[in-house]
């Protein structure tokens, strides 16, 4: 009966790794697009908000301020 309490080691499947890879490339793609948008805004002379300004804007839109 001692064998019944033992657990089998978990083995990750190639499908899991493929899905993780897909998610990683999607994140990279999003990051690349966001950096391109940021550079375009800077090139057009748009003033970027500071972290504090972004937090205040989010709070304002949520009705917290």
Question: For every one of its 65 residues, what pLDDT tens digit does the chain have, with 9 covering 90 and above?
Answer: 455 555 555 555 555 555 666 777 777 799 999 999 999 999 999 999 999 999 999 999 999 98
Domain that holds residue 42: 18-62
Total H helices, total E strands in the chain: 3, 0
The per-residue pLDDT for 3 is 52
- The verdict on residue 28 lying in a domain is yes
- The pTM of the full predicted model, rounded to 2 decimals, is 0.48
- The verdict on residue 4 lying in a domain is no
- The verdict on residue 51 lying in a domain is yes
- The verdict on residue 7 lying in a domain is no
CB 41 within 8 A of CB 48: yes
């Amino acid at each position: 009966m001692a064998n019944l309490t033992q657990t089998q080691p978990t083995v990750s499947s190639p499908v899991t790794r493929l899905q993780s890879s897909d998610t990683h490339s999607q994140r990279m793609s999003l990051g690349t697009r966001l950096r391109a948008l940021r550079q375009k805004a800077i090139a057009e002379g748009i003033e970027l908000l500071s972290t504090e300004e972004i937090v205040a804007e989010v709070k304002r839109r949520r009705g917290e301020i």
